[in-house]
Amino acid sequence: VDPWAELTMPVPILTLTTDFGEDSPYVAAMKGVILALNPAVQLIDLSHQIPPQSVQHAAFFLAHSIPYFPIEALHVVVVDPGVGSERAILYLEVNGHRLLAPDNGCWTLLAGKASRVIQVAEPRFWRQPVSRTFHGRDIFAPVAARLSLGLDPTELGPPVRDRVRLSKSYPQPFLGGIRGEVAFVDHFGNIITNIPADDLASPVGALAVGDRNYPQIINVKTYGDAEPGCLVVLASSAGLVEIAVVHGHAASRLNASIGTPVVFEFASSSP
């Protein structure tokens, strides 16, 4: 079955990722502005629960969700601690995926190169007057709607060369172990590290998170392989080393958050 067969044109998909929460009218206002310009767009909420102003959290979130979308989608990201300042707003194409995002590095953990980066600089596509504190409503929303209607991105403004990139820290192997850091804490409290699971060739014997040591950790394939309450290490669904407490909240128990240092020591093969 070809889902497009009976449709005369693709329904444009427009996703929203913000730190606005749902108790405030900000997401709703953005949806209104978008639908007023393009009532046929298919709005998809990715998240409005990014922790306030956490560009690092947004970056991991985007890196592990955007790649699954069809390239016809346009992804609008408003996690924007620099709103109203001189930070630019960018239209980006990264590995074929299209984003509209503040120039704060939130897109830089996405795999692949940015083949096109354009500064959103042409006020004629914006909602006027533009407020100093809510570019989501006044710039991102109308520009996104116009792109979904077929506006050529080159009309938005000039190409950009210099843009903000998050510094990416790489894990450091040492004799008998590997050092890394916490890349993300998920909704269940599972700790996702920046260490590729493939780099952990040997089973882990001991763990340090921050300045505390955990001499007991169980190597598992999935949560159900150990008893509830056990501290386990496994490969996350994103292919990274993950620390979890079975049916518990590892980040609270280990006092971990994004950036906390993590050290794994391999189990010695002989006693």
Min separation Cβ 195 and a copy of itself, Å: 16
Between 88 and 265, CB nearer to a copy of itself? 88
* For a copy of itself, the closer CB: 48 or 177: 48
**178: enclosing H helix or E strand:** strand 177-185
Least Å from the CB of residue 186 to a copy of itself:
4
Q: What secondary structure, in 3-state letters, does 196-255 show?
A: EHHHCCCCEEEEEECCEEECCCEECCCHHHCCCCCEEEEECCCCEEEEEECCCCHHHHHC
Distance from C-alpha of 39 to C-alpha of 8, rounded to nearest angstrom: 16
Please state the closest distance from residue 111 (CB atom) to a copy of itself, in A: 14
Nearer to a copy of itself, 51 or 159 (CB): 51
Among 210, 230, 229, CA closest to 219: 230
Cβ burial, residue 202 (10 Å; 0-12/13-18/19+): middle
CB of 56 to a copy of itself, least distance (A): 13
- Based on CB atoms, which residue is closest to a copy of itself, 25 or 176? 25
Looking at the Cβ atoms of 193 and 265, the one nearer to a copy of itself is 193
Q: How far is the CB of 29 from a copy of itself (least distance, A)?
A: 5
Q: Residues with Cβ < 8 Å from 148, sequence gap 6 or more?
A: 12, 14, 34, 38, 41, 74
